[in-house]
Amino acid sequence: MPPPSRYTLPIWTALASAGGGALVIAALHMMHRLDIEAAMAGIILVLAAGALIGWGGASGIGLGEDPAAPGGADELSREPPYAALVDALPDPVLLVTGLEPDDPTGRRYVLANPAAREVLNLTSPSGLLVTAIRDPDVLEAVDEALFGQVAASALYDLGGTQERVLKAFAQPLGGEDGGLRTAVLVLRDETDIRRAERTRADFLANASHELRTPLASLSGFIETLRGHARSDEAAREKFLAIMQTQAERMSRLIDDLLSLSRIELNEHIAPAGEMDLALAIMDVLDSLGPLAREGRVTLTSDIPPVGWAVTTGDRDQLVQVVQNLVDNALKYTPPDGGIKVRLRTDLSAAEAVAPVMEDSSRLSLLTPDHGTTRYLVLQVTDSGPGIAREHLPRLTERFYRVEGQKSGARPGTGLGLAIVKHIINRHRGGLAVESVEGSGATFTAYVPMS
């Protein structure tokens, strides 16, 4: 790596000279009065103006001056005068330098603001660029800015269980010193925008597909009632009952689709606030108790005392997780069967998915990114027909139903487990299933303890 005085000081002095103008532009950007392209262009203009008025000469340190010279070491030890400005920006920002296009180890980030260090999981404010970003499209955009001296952009998918999409903007900072070039890389989070676009498309596609059958059924019965069944009282009562069932199914379907869409929009944002999962389970069991008695199903629970199962989460969403899992078990448990709800505390991810049924088929449907966390583990076990191994990977797909299994008098929409998966993913937890054909199934959902 070249000595610091060959590449850091020209950048520092130029940016320091334009600090006031850049601060104003950054403030306008944070207030959403300027978009990212305009803000970056403005900052680069004021940097150029600062360089032209000769701040570097006033500082007493030239481009090639020896750091050991009088005043040089002091300047090098000082924090860059623009560091506070960059740190204040809400978007991740990296200052990147490069020597040769064919030398990837020469591309370094010499400054990363706190937002960049958090998003990219950086432990140092400087280092090799390839250790921070491995996406080839983003690296190519940086190369265009460094060596082509043109602005470039690229999409950057961070991956992981919580999908996150960034737009990377690379902008050259002009000139070079001894072959060293400099560019600024700004990352803009576009996850919300892209989730909203996909959610709208998915909602329209799913609604049009799933509502077609009940609407066709309603239309057919209406036509029949207006025709030859007009005076047939028995047929009229039968058809009206079927129409009511179809209308209720459409209502549940729309409610579930809207709920799933809302959850997906905020899935990448971790919830805040604490809640007691034991209390939530007790509320759900109380509300579903009459339904269980109606179906002659025994509900039992094994829950720790109140205050022992506290997690950081959205109470309404976690109540929905418990309700969907218990309701799903009720649908497939035959009369005189049983359902057990169990909540355990302070377990690792491996302990959370340990088998609870002998000779079972097991599958993790969602695995959290961080395996060192301690978890609250909710398990719902039913005595229904069980699930064949080949169906397990698809259980959380939208509208997927296991063929040949009846779900009682209240057919589901096929969205319950999909909703559970997305809620648990938002809470940075995991989801697993195990089953023995003919002997029931166990669904395990686990979320981090507070």
Same domain, 145 and 284: no
Which residue among 268, 302, 337 closes a domain? 268
Same domain, 148 and 175: yes
Q: What is the CATH number of the domain that holds 336?
A: 3.30.565.10
Q: How confident is the model over 121-130, as pLDDT tens digits?
A: 888 878 888 8
Residue 429: per-residue pLDDT: 93
Same domain, 330 and 231: no
Residue 178 CB-half CA count within 13 A? 12
9 lies in which domain range?
4-189
| CA distances to 5, 55, 73, 133, 330 from 67, in Å | 6, 18, 5, 31, 75
Tell which wins on pLDDT, 126 or 408: 126
Same domain, 212 and 294: no
Same domain, 228 and 341: no
Same domain, 240 and 173: no
Q: How confident is the model over 341-363, as pLDDT tens digits?
A: 999 999 998 999 998 888 889 99
Same domain, 234 and 379: no
Same domain, 373 and 310: yes
Q: What is the 3-state secondary structure (H, E, C) of the chain?
A: CCCHHHCHHHHHHHHHHCHHHHHHHHHHHHCCCCCHHHHHHHHHHHHHHHHHCCHHHHHCCCCCCCCCCCCHHHHHHCCCCCHHHHHHCCCCEEEEEECCCCCHHHCEEEEECHHHHHHCCCCCCCEEHHHHCCCHHHHHHHHHHHHCCCCEEEEEECCCCCCCEEEEEEEEEEEEECCEEEEEEEEEECHHHHHHHHHHHHHHHHHHHHHHHHHHHHHHHHHHHHCCCCCCHHHHHHHHHHHHHHHHHHHHHHHHHHHHHHHHHCCCCCCCCEEEHHHHHHHHHHHHHHHHHHCCCEEEEECCCCCCCEEECCHHHHHHHHHHHHHHHHHHCCCCCEEEEEEEEEECHHHHCCCCCCCCEEEEEECCCCCCCCEEEEEEEECCCCCCHHHHHHCCCCCCCCCCCCCCCCCCCCCHHHHHHHHHHHCCCEEEEEECCCCCEEEEEEEECC
Same domain, 117 and 248: no
Which residue among 161, 189, 217 closes a domain? 189
Tell which wins on pLDDT, 60 or 40: 40
Same domain, 138 and 199: no
End-to-end CA distance of the chain: 44
Total of domains in the chain: 3
pTM above 0.85, yes or no: no
Q: How confident is the model over 32-50, as pLDDT tens digits?
A: 545 555 555 555 544 444 4
Identify the band that residue 417 occupies on the pLDDT scale cut at 50, 70 and 90.
very high
Same domain, 221 and 274: no
**How far, in whole angstroms, is CA 71 from its chain's centroid?**
49
Q: How confident is the model over 186-221, as pLDDT tens digits?
A: 999 887 777 777 767 766 666 666 777 778 878 888
